[in-house]
Structure 1
Amino acid sequence: MIGIIGGTGISSILKGDKEEIIETKYGKAKIMFDKERDVILLFRHGANHNTPPHKVNYRANIYALKKLGVERILAINSVGSLKEELKPGMFFIPNDFIEFTKKREETFYDEGKVVHIDMTEPYCPELRKILKDILNKNNFAYGEGVYVCTEGPRFETKKEIEIYKNWGDVVGMTGYPEVVLARELEICYVSLCNITNYACGISKNILTVDEVLETIKEMEDKILKVVEEFINYDFGERNCICKDALKHAIIE
């Protein structure tokens, strides 16, 4: 089964099954279930987009998907570009991340046994290849590299961006800890980032929410095209590092 984590616009490709509330020991998660295609849609910020990134219950969301039998997750993330060549309107596929979050619950192993999960290759290599094949097939421009995750909900300062651009390629607020939580539950996880703007100090103008929303609207058809092809992809058996992550973890 496939899980799609993203914003409200993605619901238009799923056939109108009702919302369900999934109870987990970490809290509640609201999902939409497309029974015809074995796809679960989860709105990261809530159906009305009223949960800020630092308040998202990431553990409940990922645990609910695991509970429902999800083996592969496609996450949709809006990001700002740290590099001039990565232009708004392009896609971006992270192959690594750096995080500067502060208050998020970021592991399922915060009591009882201690589990050190390996994150040498944090994003599923099999799903990254599939995603790149889909983008290439449709001639959609994209880049690859390091995702820098900040706490939010504020945008970053000019000096912060000056530092981040030496370490990463895009900056966002929602990619972490989803990627780690998925690995802890041995779920394959890949991120499709839509670049909505240049980050502060790189852009010549003050960043506004309207600018971000306008770019997302312009990219919507492309995003939905990629999601549609991902859902309909003929997946085989998983042969990646994700499915056996706990076998390679250090457990104390």
Structure 2
Amino acid sequence: MTAPGTPPIIGVIGGSGIYEIDGLENTSWQKVGSSFGEPSDELLFGELAGQQMVFLPRHGRGHRIPPSELNFRANIDALKRAGVTEILSVSACGSLNGEMPPGTFVICDQFIDRTFAREKSFFGTGLVAHVGLGDPVCTRLGDALEEAATELGLDFKRGGTYLAMEGPQFSTQAESHLYRSWGCDVIGMTNMPEAKLAREAEMCYATVAMVTDFDCWHPDHDHVTVDSIIKTLLDNADKGRALVKAVAPKLAGRTVSCTSGCQTALDTAIITSPDARDPAMIKKLDAVAGRVLKG
């Protein structure tokens, strides 16, 4: 229920390898409930260079929850209830692009959603909404990530299409070649429907996909060892935490609405007439859509 113009609170969703934030002070783990069930874990509240931060380990501490069993709606809803206004998603991925080798950080700007076993919307029967998703990530957050990555000297690419697969198995070669023919750059299992739900919740969202290996399309794929993947994953994790630490001050102090319109995404999205809206749904959506449903 954060109104446009409210000073930012930055949420970080950490994927494989990102289980903490370096430099976080005045920390406390707190349980935040959701009307959509249980989130992956408690939320870690703290401050980084004076900026309020909230961290959520996407798979739970200890990496307990597989991609298909993540309660994406509860995760986003809980972050919204915690006051988070913008989300930085950091996760491991495979590369579908020969120019994005292991160790590359990709600041994605597009998604293709191939998942099929997940709840993908907060809305439903009794309260229908259709948000725009033509530009699914926040340009302002992407700009800040690019600036921070440049300052750190990271090997990164600005722009790229993330193919979200269901998992937990990896792709077949036929699938991998198909996704490459579509122009996809990286492949992972967690950023959808996460990005869709963040937009429905009127939260700025950007993702950093950290490449650990080439997907199975690559002729050298069979020569990749588990040890090399783990080494890259750990190296990426160190750099990923450094990136979060570097970008936080760049997002601090904002006192105006998001120029990308993320925080007003529901202004024209709800199509159900007021007299036909289900009161139970209105109550359930008090955090996600309270701004537009009040009154």
TM-score (norm 2): 0.81
- What is the CA-CA distance between 1:221 and the residue it aligns to? 2.6
Q: 2:174 matched to 1:159?
A: yes
Q: 2:233 matched to 1:216?
A: yes
Identity, in percent, stands at 35
Q: Which residue pairs with 1:170 in the alignment?
A: 186
Aligned counterpart in structure 1 of residue 265 of structure 2, from 235, 245, 250: 245
- What is the CA-CA distance between 1:91 and the residue it aligns to? 0.4
Instruction: Return closer, same or farther for 1:107/1:170 CA change in 2, 3 Å cut-off.
Output: same
- What is the CA-CA distance between 1:250 and the residue it aligns to? 5.4
- What is the CA-CA distance between 1:139 and the residue it aligns to? 2.2
Aligned counterpart in structure 1 of residue 205 of structure 2, from 164, 189, 192: 189
Q: 2:11 matched to 1:3?
A: yes
Aligned counterpart in structure 1 of residue 28 of structure 2, from 10, 18, 32: 18
State the alpha-carbon separation in 2 of the partners of residues 131 and 25 from structure 1.
32
Stretches of structure 1 lacking an aligned partner (at least 5 in a row): none
Instruction: Return closer, same or farther for 1:181/1:15 CA change in 2, 3 Å cut-off.
Output: same
- What is the CA-CA distance between 1:220 and the residue it aligns to? 2.6
Task: Give deviations 1:121-159, integer Å, cap 9, x for gaps.
Answer: 000111111111111222212122110000011111100
Task: Give deviations 1:3-41, integer Å, cap 9, x for gaps.
Answer: 000046441413372322211111122211115641100
SS at 1:63 equivalent: helix
Task: Give deviations 1:34-59, integer Å, cap 9, x for gaps.
Answer: 15641100010001101001111110
Stretches of structure 2 lacking an aligned partner (at least 5 in a row): 1-8, 273-295
SS at 2:209 equivalent: strand
The letter of the residue matching 1:33 is F
State the alpha-carbon separation in 2 of the partners of residues 102 and 160 from structure 1.
15
Say whether the 8 Å CA contact 1:19–1:33 is kept in structure 2: yes
Alignment length (residue pairs): 252
Q: Which residue pairs with 2:244 in the alignment?
A: 227
Say whether the 8 Å CA contact 1:21–1:28 is kept in structure 2: no
State the alpha-carbon separation in 1 of the partners of residues 125 and 219 from structure 2.
43
State the alpha-carbon separation in 1 of the partners of residues 253 and 232 from structure 2.
31
Q: Which residue pairs with 1:149 in the alignment?
A: 164
State the alpha-carbon separation in 2 of the partners of residues 250 and 17 from structure 1.
37
Farther-moved stretch of structure 1 (156-165 vs 18-27) = 18-27
Instruction: Return closer, same or farther for 1:222/1:208 CA change in 2, 3 Å cut-off.
Output: same
State the alpha-carbon separation in 2 of the partners of residues 82 and 55 from structure 1.
25
Farther-moved stretch of structure 1 (102-111 vs 132-141) = 132-141
Say whether the 8 Å CA contact 1:98–1:146 is kept in structure 2: yes
Q: 2:82 matched to 1:65?
A: no
State the alpha-carbon separation in 2 of the partners of residues 85 and 77 from structure 1.
19
Instruction: Return closer, same or farther for 1:208/1:52 CA change in 2, 3 Å cut-off.
Output: farther
State the alpha-carbon separation in 2 of the partners of residues 235 and 122 from structure 1.
24
Aligned counterpart in structure 2 of residue 97 of structure 1, from 111, 126, 131: 111
Tell me the C-alpha RMSD between the 2 structures: 1.7
Say whether the 8 Å CA contact 2:21–2:245 is kept in structure 1: no
Say whether the 8 Å CA contact 2:18–2:90 is kept in structure 1: no
Q: Which has the higher strand share?
A: 1
- What is the CA-CA distance between 1:175 and the residue it aligns to? 0.6
Higher Cα Rg: structure 1 or 2? 2
Task: Give deviations 1:65-107, integer Å, cap 9, x for gaps.
Answer: 1111110100001111001111100100111100110110110
Q: 2:156 matched to 1:139?
A: no
The letter of the residue matching 2:211 is I
Instruction: Return closer, same or farther for 1:235/1:179 CA change in 2, 3 Å cut-off.
Output: farther
State the alpha-carbon separation in 2 of the partners of residues 212 and 90 from structure 1.
13
Aligned counterpart in structure 2 of residue 118 of structure 1, from 120, 132, 139: 132
TM-score (norm 1): 0.94
